[in-house]
Structure 1
Amino acid sequence: MSIALKPVHQRLHLYTEGNDTYLFTPEGNDAQALTIHRASGDITLNRLKVPLPPYALRSSKVIYGIIGLISLSLSEYIIVITGRESLGRLMGHEVYRATNFDILPLNPHVSSHNPPHPVESHLLALVRSHLHGGNFLFSYTWDLTRRLQAQWQSREKDVGKPLWQVADDRFFWNKFLQSRLIDLTTSDAKQDLSQYILPVMYGTFDLRPAFLHGRHMQLCLISRRSRFRAGTRYFRRGIDHDGHVANFNETEQLVLIEGQTTPGAPRPEDDSFATKLSFVQIRGSVPLFWSEINTLRYKPDLQIMDLQDTTNAMQKHLTEQVELYGEQALVNLVNQKGHEQPVKEAYERYVAQINVPKTRYEYFDFHNECRKMRWDRISVLIDRMQEDIDRHGYFQLNADNPTPVKMQKGVIRTNCMDNLDRTNVVQAALAKWTLNVQLRELGILSETAGIDDYEAFSKDFREMWADHADAIAKAYGGSGALKSDFTRTNLRTRKGLLEDGVKSVTRYLKNTFFDGARQDGFDLMTGTWRPRKSPSSALFLITDGRPLITRSMPVIASFSLFMICAGLTLPRTSDYSLFYYFMLWFTLMSIALIFMLIHGIDYVAWPRLIPPTDVIYYNGPGFRSARNGMGLNPKVAGELGKQHNLWLGSGRVRTATEEVEMGTIKKRVD
C-alpha cells in the first residue's frame, strides 16, 4: 500500500546574501527556491528558474529539512537539519533520524552562538538541549505519524496531499514550529510551501529482517509520542482540561511478509509484500488531575486533585480514544497497596462514574502477581485479556486482495504510575502473544509452536522491544527502562535487579536536579510558553530568587565536608583538639543537610518557564500523602505559595495570563 503524496524536498542548499536574506534552493532544475528576508521576516516562494543573486554565498552544509521557525526574546530563528541517519527502508520509503541541527537567526545583529543577552543565551541553550536530547524521526515520502490501518482508511482522499496535511496532529512534533509556513500556505494559494514543510515525529523506529520457515519478512516497531501535555516524569503527570494525558505513546508492531519464492528466484521489489500485519497498543498517564511533588526525598509526595472538571476531562480523553481506535481495554498496573493505592482507587472511582461506552477496565496487581521474580505470571493477565485481544484483532492487508482481511477494532490502553517499566513488560508480552497468533493463522508456525522456539527470531523480537522501552523511558524518566532484562532474555535475573538499582538512582538525580530545564525545553519547543520580545521581562530565568540562607546551605554543607576530609590528613598531635574540630564541621554539615531536607522543595530544579506552584501548594479537595520539604509549617508555606508564588516564579505575583490551572497549562506569554 503506497499512497502518492506530494513529496518534500530532501536536500537543500543554503545561500546567504549578506545580512539580507536566507535562500534555500532544492536540488533539481524544476523546483522553486525559498527566500526568507531577515529584516522583515517575510517568507516568499521564488518563481521557477530565478537566477541566484550575484553576491550570494553558499553554505558548506547540506540542509536535509527545515524543522521550523521559533521566536525568542531578541530574534526569530530558523531550525534546520544538517545531519541525518538512515534507520531503514520501510515498504519502499526511507526513514531517517535527525542527528545534527543548525539554528539560523533572522536578526542580523544576533548570533546564535554568542547572543548579546544572557536570557537569549539561556533560551537558545534550551532549544539546543531539546534538539540533541530527543529522538526525532522523519520520512520524505511516508507518513510516519499514522498507523498502517489509518493510512489505508484515508488512502483515496489523501492522494496528492502534502505530508503535513495528512499527518496525525498528536504526533506532528514540530507543528508549532511549522505554523508560519503552514499559515502562509493555507492563506495564499500562490505560496504553496508544502514541499518545505517536513513533519517530524518524536519516537522510536526499529526495522529488522527476519527469516522463519522459508519465509522472508521484516519486523518493525514504531512508537509515536504525543506533543500534547509533553514533558518529564514528575513535571507532567495525569490529564489536562482538554483530555490530553502525559506520556501518551502509540506503539505499532508491523510484520511484513514476502510471498513464497522458489530457491534462486530474485527477491521482490520494495512494498510488494504478500502480507502486511499491524498491531497497535497505547499507553498514557492515569487520566486524573494528579502529580508527585518532588521534595528531595526518594519517594515524592503523592497528590490527587479532585477538581470539578475531572469527570469531564476523563470523559473527553476516553471518548477521543474510542473515536480514534475503537474499543478500549483499560489495563491498570498501579499497586493496590502503599504509596500508589490512592491513584488506583481514584481511577476506578471515576471510570465507574463516567461509564464511557466501549471501554472496559481491568486491574492487574503486577508487583504482587509477579513477586519473587515469577514473571511468567504475566500470562495470568493475558488469559484475562484474551477475549478482548481476540475481539479487537489486528490489521491485515494481503497483496492479492484490495480490501483488508482483518481490521483492528480496538486497543489495549496500559498504564502504571510512570507508564514505563511495568507497562513495557506487559505491552511486549501482549505483542508477542499477538505475533504468535498472526504467524499461526498464516501457517508459518504450527498451532503448538511459538516464536520462543526459534532463538534467532525471538532474540530480534526481544531486543526490539527492549530498545523501544529504553528509548521511551529515557525520554520521560531520564534513564533506561527497569525490568528490561526480562524483555531481552525472558528471564528476571539478580544482575537485572542490580542494574535497575543503578537506573533508579540515575532517575532520582535527573528528575530532581536536571529535569526542570528539560521541561522548559518541551514547553518552549511545543509552544506551550512563548517569550515576549523583551529579554528584560524574562530575567527570572537566569537569576536565583531564593533567600540568601536557602542558597547558602549547599555551600556550607560542601565546605564542611571538605574540611572533614582535610581534617583526616592532619597530624594526630592532639586527639582532644581534633575531636572539637570534627564536631564543629560535623555539626555545621548536619545543620545544613537538615535545613535542606526540611525545605527540600526549594532545592529541586523546578521548571522556570511555567513553574507548577499552584500544583505544589494546592490545598483543595483530594489527597496529599504528606507536606514534606515545605518548611517547619507547611500550612503557612502553602498559603504563602498561593499568594506570592515563592521563588519558583521569580518572586512575582502572576498576572491573569500567566495563571497555571490545576493539571493543565495555558499557553502564555511571559
Structure 2
Amino acid sequence: MATTLPYRDINVHASASHYAFTSPSSPTAPTLVVERPSGDLRLNDGSLLGAKRVSSIAGILGIIRLRLDKYIIVITKAQPMGRLKGHMVYRVVATEFLPLRERPLHDPDEDTYLDLLKSLLRNGPMYFSYSYDITNSFQRQAQSDAAVPLWKRADDRFFWNKFIQSDLIDLRNGGSHTGGGRLQGREQPGVDSYILPVMFGMLRITATKLKSTPFTFALITRRSRHRAGTRYFSRGMDELGHVSNYNETEQIVILNDRSSDFGGFSAGQGMANGDLGSSAGREAQVLSYVQTRGSVPVYWAEVNTLRYTPKLQIRGVETAIAAARRHFDEQIQIYGDNYLVNLVNQKGREQQVKEAYEQMIRVLVSSSNEETKRDPLTEEKFHTLDAKKKSKEIDRLHYVYFDFHSETKGLRWHRAQLLLDEMSDALQAQQYFRGVDMPGDPNGTLEVRNLQRSVVRTNCMDCLDRTNVVQSMLALWTLNRMLADLGILEHGEAASDDPAFALLFRNVWADNADVVSRSYSGTGALKTDFTRTGKRTRAGMVQDLSNSITRYFRNNFADGPRQDGFDLFLGAYLPSATSVGSSYLFVDRRPIMIQAVPYVLGASVFFIFVAVFTRRLPESTIWPLRIMMCSFMALSAWCFRFIVNNGMLYVNWPKLNTPTYAMEGYQEAIASASKDKIIGQWVGKHERGASTSRLSYLEEGKKRIE
C-alpha cells in the first residue's frame, strides 16, 4: 500500500468568499476550501470557479484563531538542507498570514499577537520533509507502519505545529471544522496530504569521509512542544510530567548512500528496479544514536528580580511525585532504561536542585542502592543511585551524579572523560540502532539489525552548556564504536584521529549547542570553544562572559514576549474575543511613577555625561555646574537603588500566562514601593489602596491543559 505523503506544491486561490488550496502536480486531488470569514473547512472535488490564484506555497503550517480573526499560516519559502536516505529535508525560511476577513479589523492586542507569532516563526529553526518523518528517530521509524499517513506517524512531542493543525486534523477525523457540520462524523482521508508536520530544533546533514570511506553524517535535535519556553519563565516540570527544555538529539551515520546529496528524489526511487540506493551495489546502512536532555523533574523555579543570580524556589518533592512518575513512565516506555546524568553543582545554590532530584529518585525506585565515590578534590566525585532489585518498570532508572564543576575547574576539561569511564559498562550494554535497506521496498523500510536498548538523559541547571559538552563526548564514544563495527576504524583508532573529520564533528556539535541555547536562553551556548577545539581557551572565556551578560539582559527584559510567542503558537494560551477594544492586554498598567523612574535615571546619566565632556568657557563660573552634577548624581543613585530594590516591577514578565510567583512578587514590590519616602505617596494614591488593581493584565492568561 502506497504511503500518503504531503503535497510538495500547493497553489493558493483567493476570493471574497473563500481560500482554495490545490496541488498542480496532483490534478485529481480534492481542493481544500476555507470559507471566509467563518473559517469552516471542506473538501471539494475539482477546482472552484471565481477564485484568483495568488501564490504558490511550500505547505500549510496551520490555522490559528486570535482575538478578532482566524489566520492561515502558509510556508512561502523553504530552504533545502540535505537528504537522509534520499529524503530531502527543508528549513522554513519565510511564512505569510492569510486573514479570513476580507477587510481586517485592527486592534492593538491583535497586532501584538501577530508580531509575537511572526517573531517566533522568523527566529525559530523549523524543519520539515515531504517524505521523511523528521519527528521520529530511525529506530522508531523502523518500528512504525510506513503505510500510515505521515502526520499520524509523527511523534506527538515533536509535532511542533500540531496545535495550529488542529482544524485540519478535526476535518480529517470528521470533527467540528467540516463546513457547518454537513460532513461531521465522516472521515476525510483527502485531507492527509495537506497536513504537514514541522519540527523545531537543529539539523545538519553533511557528506564526509574517514580513511577514504565516504558516508553521511547528520545530527538532529528535536525540541518538545510541551512546556516549551524561555530560560527563567519555564523551569522544572508541570503536572502532566512535561519538563522544560526537553530535547532529543539523534546522531546518524549513513553508509553506502549515494542519494544523500541534493540530486536524488526520495527513498525507494529506483529500488523497485533493483537499485538499492547503495554504492557499488552494497547495501545502504543506517546507524543512529539517541540522547535526551531535560530540566530536573521536580517543581522548581528561578524568580527574576534583576539580580544577576535569580532567587531559587523549590516546592516539596512529595507534591511532584505523581508528575515525575508520569514523566519517567513515558521515558522508559519510549527508550527503555534511563541513565540520568546530573551535572549540577553539589555546593551553593544548585545543591538544593541536586538534593531534590536525588530525593525524587529514592521515592520512585524500589529500595534504592546508593554509592558515593570520593577523591582528594571533592567529597562526592560520583554519586550513583538505582534499585537494588528490579520489581517494577520505574526501577529501570539509574541515577549518576558527576561533580562536573569541581573536576573541570581550572581549564581541566579533559577530566570530563572520567564520566565515560564510570559509565563504560552501561554504554557497552546500551548499543545503538543499526538498519539496512530492504531491497525492492518502495517505502525505503529498514531491516533492523540492532536496537538501542537505553538512553542517557543529561541535565545541568539550564540543560545547555555542561549538558552539551557531555553529550558530545558520549556521541563521539558511540561514533567510534559504530565505525569500528562497520570496519572503517581498527581497534584502538578513533574518529578524532582524522583532523578534518574531528573539526567537522566538533563544529556540528558546537552548532547544536548554540541552536538549543538560543531557543531557550536567547544567546549562543557557553563553553563551545571546548566543543569546537577540544580545549578551553581564554578567547572562549571572553566570549562566555559576553554571552552571560547578554543572557542577563535578554532574560530580564526580552524573554517575556518570547514566552508569550511560544504560549500563543503552541496553544498554551487561547486569545479571548471578549472586551475587544476596551481592555488592552499588553498595555503597561504599572503606576506612572514606577514607569518614570528608569527614564529619570537615563536623563540623569545623560546630563552627567554632558557636564563631564562639554568644554567650559574660561570665564564661566564652575559652582553651578558642580551643584548640577552633584544633584544629578544623587538622583541617578537614588533611581538605581530604587530599581534594584524593586526589581520585580521592572522585569518584562510574560503577559499571557504570567507565573504565579510573578503576580505574588508584583504585589509585594508594589507594597514596598508605596512605603518609599520619596514617591511612595504617589504610588499609593495611584493604586487607590488596592494592591491588585494593576494586575488585570497578569490575570487574563488562562493556561490550557490539553
TM-score after normalising by structure 1: 0.89
**1:388 equivalenced with 2:422 (yes/no):** no
| Helix, strand or coil at the partner of 1:405 | strand
Preserved contact between residue 530 and residue 667 of structure 1 (Cα < 8 Å): no
Q: Which runs of 4+ in 1 moved over 6 A?
A: 627-630
In structure 1, what is the Cα distance between the partners aligned to 2:691 and 2:500? 61
Q: Please report how far the alpha carbon of residue 441 of structure 1 lies from its aligned counterpart in structure 2 after TM superposition.
A: 2.0
| Helix, strand or coil at the partner of 2:506 | helix
Q: Please report how far the alpha carbon of residue 352 of structure 1 lies from its aligned counterpart in structure 2 after TM superposition.
A: 1.1
In structure 1, what is the Cα distance between the partners aligned to 2:192 and 2:406? 53
Identity of aligned residues (%): 41
| Helix, strand or coil at the partner of 1:309 | helix
Partner of residue 207 from structure 1, selected from 193, 205, 208: 205
**1:378 equivalenced with 2:378 (yes/no):** no
Q: Please report how far the alpha carbon of residue 106 of structure 1 lies from its aligned counterpart in structure 2 after TM superposition.
A: 0.8
**Map 1:263-282 → 2, pairs under 5 A:** 269=277, 273-282=283-292
**1:24 equivalenced with 2:21 (yes/no):** yes
Long gaps (5+) in structure 2: 175-185, 259-274, 366-393, 440-445, 676-682
| Cα distance change of structure 1 residues 277 and 169 upon mapping to structure 2, 3 Å threshold | same
Return the letter of the residue paired with 1:205: L
Q: Please report how far the alpha carbon of residue 230 of structure 1 lies from its aligned counterpart in structure 2 after TM superposition.
A: 0.5
Matching residue of 1:129: 119
Matching residue of 1:258: 256
Q: Please report how far the alpha carbon of residue 11 of structure 1 lies from its aligned counterpart in structure 2 after TM superposition.
A: 1.0
Q: Please report how far the alpha carbon of residue 204 of structure 1 lies from its aligned counterpart in structure 2 after TM superposition.
A: 1.0
**Map 1:138-537 → 2, pairs under 5 A:** 138-154=128-144, 158-187=145-174, 188-190=186-188, 192-258=190-256, 269=277, 273-306=283-316, 308-355=318-365, 356-399=394-437, 403-534=447-578, 536=580
| Cα distance change of structure 1 residues 358 and 383 upon mapping to structure 2, 3 Å threshold | same
In the TM superposition, what whole-angstrom CA distance separates every residue of 1:383-433 from its partner, at most 9, and x where no partner exists? 111111111111111347975222111000000000000000000000001
Matching residue of 2:269: none
Give the structure, 1 or 2, with the largest relative contact order (CA under 8 Å, sep 6 or more): 1
| Cα distance change of structure 1 residues 630 and 300 upon mapping to structure 2, 3 Å threshold | farther
Partner of residue 660 from structure 2, selected from 613, 619, 632: 613
In structure 1, what is the Cα distance between the partners aligned to 2:401 and 2:696? 39
Matching residue of 2:268: none
**1:57 equivalenced with 2:67 (yes/no):** no
In structure 2, what is the Cα distance between the partners aligned to 1:589 and 1:455? 55
* Higher alpha-carbon deviation: 453-462 or 81-90: 453-462
| Cα distance change of structure 1 residues 366 and 273 upon mapping to structure 2, 3 Å threshold | farther
Return the letter of the residue paired with 1:23: A
Matching residue of 2:61: 67
| Cα distance change of structure 1 residues 597 and 629 upon mapping to structure 2, 3 Å threshold | farther
| Cα distance change of structure 1 residues 273 and 492 upon mapping to structure 2, 3 Å threshold | farther
Preserved contact between residue 237 and residue 298 of structure 2 (Cα < 8 Å): yes
Q: Please report how far the alpha carbon of residue 462 of structure 1 lies from its aligned counterpart in structure 2 after TM superposition.
A: 1.0
Q: Please report how far the alpha carbon of residue 499 of structure 1 lies from its aligned counterpart in structure 2 after TM superposition.
A: 0.6
**1:105 equivalenced with 2:115 (yes/no):** no
Preserved contact between residue 296 and residue 629 of structure 1 (Cα < 8 Å): no
| Cα distance change of structure 1 residues 37 and 357 upon mapping to structure 2, 3 Å threshold | same
In structure 2, what is the Cα distance between the partners aligned to 1:306 and 1:629? 28
In structure 2, what is the Cα distance between the partners aligned to 1:248 and 1:651? 27
Return the letter of the residue paired with 1:309: T
Instruction: Give the alignment's Cα RMSD to 1 decimal.
Output: 2.5
In the TM superposition, what whole-angstrom CA distance separates every residue of 1:587-619 from its partner, at most 9, and x where no partner exists? 111111111011101101100001113466389
Preserved contact between residue 73 and residue 535 of structure 1 (Cα < 8 Å): no
In structure 2, what is the Cα distance between the partners aligned to 1:536 and 1:522? 23
In structure 2, what is the Cα distance between the partners aligned to 1:485 and 1:614? 36
Preserved contact between residue 466 and residue 488 of structure 1 (Cα < 8 Å): yes
In structure 2, what is the Cα distance between the partners aligned to 1:644 and 1:64? 51
In structure 2, what is the Cα distance between the partners aligned to 1:202 and 1:651? 28
| Helix, strand or coil at the partner of 2:173 | helix
In structure 1, what is the Cα distance between the partners aligned to 2:229 and 2:695? 18
| Helix, strand or coil at the partner of 1:8 | coil
Long gaps (5+) in structure 1: 261-266, 620-626, 660-664
| Cα distance change of structure 1 residues 465 and 531 upon mapping to structure 2, 3 Å threshold | same
In structure 1, what is the Cα distance between the partners aligned to 2:582 and 2:291? 41
Preserved contact between residue 597 and residue 629 of structure 1 (Cα < 8 Å): no
In structure 1, what is the Cα distance between the partners aligned to 2:695 and 2:412? 45
Number of residues of Structure 1 aligned to a counterpart in Structure 2: 626
Return the letter of the residue paired with 2:95: F
Return the letter of the residue paired with 1:144: I
| Helix, strand or coil at the partner of 2:42 | strand
Preserved contact between residue 11 and residue 53 of structure 2 (Cα < 8 Å): yes
Return the letter of the residue paired with 1:222: I
Q: Please report how far the alpha carbon of residue 666 of structure 1 lies from its aligned counterpart in structure 2 after TM superposition.
A: 4.0
Q: Please report how far the alpha carbon of residue 351 of structure 1 lies from its aligned counterpart in structure 2 after TM superposition.
A: 1.2
Q: Please report how far the alpha carbon of residue 633 of structure 1 lies from its aligned counterpart in structure 2 after TM superposition.
A: 10
| Helix, strand or coil at the partner of 1:583 | helix
